[in-house]
Amino acid sequence: MKATAIVTGATGGIGRAIVGRLVQAGFPVIALGRKAAALSTLGEETGCGTLALDIGDAAATEAALAGIDADVLVHAAGLLGPQHPLYETPDDLAARLVCVNILGTLNVLRAVVPAMRRRDRGTIMLLGSICGTAPGTGPALYSATKAAMHSMAANLRYDLRGSSLRVGEILLGRVRTGIHEQLARSEEFYDGYECLLPENVADTVLHIIGSPPSVDLSTIEMMPTRQTVGGSHFSKQ
């Protein structure tokens, strides 16, 4: 049997696609998300295990994942939020973005990585965004949280130097997932554009996990063909 995989953000478009691909490939999968009903449906459709969990809650995350020996972690959870200039971001939105996108990432890593380190095996995939490296490509505070993830991925790989653990980050361009509805104008982001699909991301994740143990695809910028490197320009068809 293949190694157990944990997938966060499993009820989102990308997370669902990753869970489906991993199950098809023979991985036992534990899908994490906040929406219990959507998780239940996902479990029925794919046969994955499920855990309803808010990763922003450190104690709950530690308790839920205690005793689970996973050799694959795909961290797809994240909150986009509406478009605001940095200096006009409301307090409640700012707190939630930091809680989910930064502290949530840290909480999951603290709950999963130590056991991987003890066994000296594991693949950790963080799904980031071009917004974290290119100003103006996303909401300001969301972009800052993705910049924090970009730094965490690099520093985690440094922390694990000398081990057999692999750390990879995919900096995603525009993916047609529906998450842009949080910006209240998703049609501007999809109509006329040939975006990435969640299934494209899932295939890439599977390729990374399936690479030889001596190969670490540490940072990948995954873009639609018509979106420029860095994501600053995206031409319509």
* Catalytic residue list: 142
Let me know: does 50 contact 39? Beta carbons within 8 Å.
yes
Q: Which residue has the tokens 């104690």?
A: 59
User: How far is it, in rounded angstroms, from Cα 53 to Cα 56?
Assistant: 9
Whole-angstrom distance, CA of residue 108 vs CA of residue 125 = 12
Name the one residue in this structure whose structure tokens are 């999963």.
112
Write out the two tokens for 174: 């525009």
Distance of CA 16 to the CA centre of its chain: 11
| Sign for the pseudo-dihedral over CA of 209, 212, 213, 214 | negative
Report CA Rg, the chain.
17
Q: Are 81 and 133 in contact (CB under 8 A)?
A: no
